A and B are shown apart, each in its own frame.
Chain A
C-alpha cells in the first residue's frame, strides 16, 4: 500500500522533507518523475505520489511521514495494496545509484 494523505491534513509541511523518495508535494504543486512533470494530485492538501512512495521500505523502519504528522493523517492506502518486494523494487528503481543492503527491521516496516 502506498501511503496516502487524508483530508485531515493541516498543510503544515512537516512530512515533506522527511520523505526519502521526494514523493510528497504541497497541494497544487506539480510532481516530477523521471524528468517528466505531472499535474498535482490534490490542490487542497499535501499529497503523496503513489509511484514514488515505497512506504519507506529500503530506507527506514516505518513510514517517516506518518511518524512526524501531528494529525495522524498519513495512512496506508487501502485501494493500493503492495508487497514488500514491489516496494523494495521501487526503492531500487528510484535510487539506481544507491547500493541497498538486504532488508532488515531497520529498513522495512514488514520486518517488525
Chain B
C-alpha cells in the first residue's frame, strides 16, 4: 500500500487535518481501484474535523455524514485499519452538533478526538501503519 496512506493517517492522528487531507487527496486522485471510496471517506473525515476546528459546523457535519456513509462498507476493519472506533466517533460528533443546534448546548466537541489505529489482525501485505 502507498506510503501516503500512512503519512495521511499520522497527520490525522496528530490533529493536522488539513495536511492529512492534502496527502490523502494526492493519493486518491491517482488511485483508481474500487476501494478508493474508503480513501475518500478518510478525506471526508479529515476535512470534517478541519471544519470543526474552524467553527464551520455545517461543513463539518456534511463531511462527517459523507465519511460515515462511505466507510460503512469497510467496517469494522480494512487495509489493516481499525475503522469502527473512527466511525463511531464521527457518528457521535454528528450527534453533538445536532444537539448543539437543537438545544443551544455549549458543548460542540467530543472530549477526545478520534485516532486511526492499526487493527489487531494485520491485513496481508499491509502492516506499515504505526
Cβ of A106 within 8 Å of any chain B Cβ, yes or no, is: no
Tell me how far the C-beta of A29 lies from the nearest C-beta in chain B, rounded to whole angstroms: 20
Residues of B within 8 A of A9 (CB): 59
Total count of chain B residues near the partner, CB < 8 A: 19
Interchain CB contact (< 8 A) of B25 among A6, A14, A72:
A14
Whether A7 pairs with B25 at a CB distance below 8 angstroms is: no
Known A8-B47, A8-B62; judge A70-B56 contact (CB<8 A). no
Specify the main secondary structure of chain A where it touches its partner: loop
Cβ of B29 within 8 Å of any chain A Cβ, yes or no, is: yes
Tell me how far the C-beta of A26 lies from the nearest C-beta in chain B, rounded to whole angstroms: 16
Cβ of B38 within 8 Å of any chain A Cβ, yes or no, is: no
Residue among B51, B59, B62 with the highest chain A CB neighbour number at 10 A: B59
Known A70-B40, A70-B43, A71-B63; judge A12-B22 contact (CB<8 A). yes
Whether A7 pairs with B47 at a CB distance below 8 angstroms is: no
Interface residues of A (CB under 8 A from B): 6-10, 12, 14, 68, 70-73
Beyond A6-B62, A72-B44, 18 extra complex contacts between A and B, CB < 8 Å? A6-B59, A7-B58, A7-B59, A7-B62, A8-B51, A9-B59, A10-B21, A12-B25, A14-B25, A70-B21, A70-B25, A70-B28, A70-B40, A70-B43, A71-B44, A71-B47, A72-B40, A72-B66
Interface residues of B (CB under 8 A from A): 18, 21-22, 24-25, 28-29, 40, 43-44, 47, 50-51, 56, 58-59, 62-63, 66
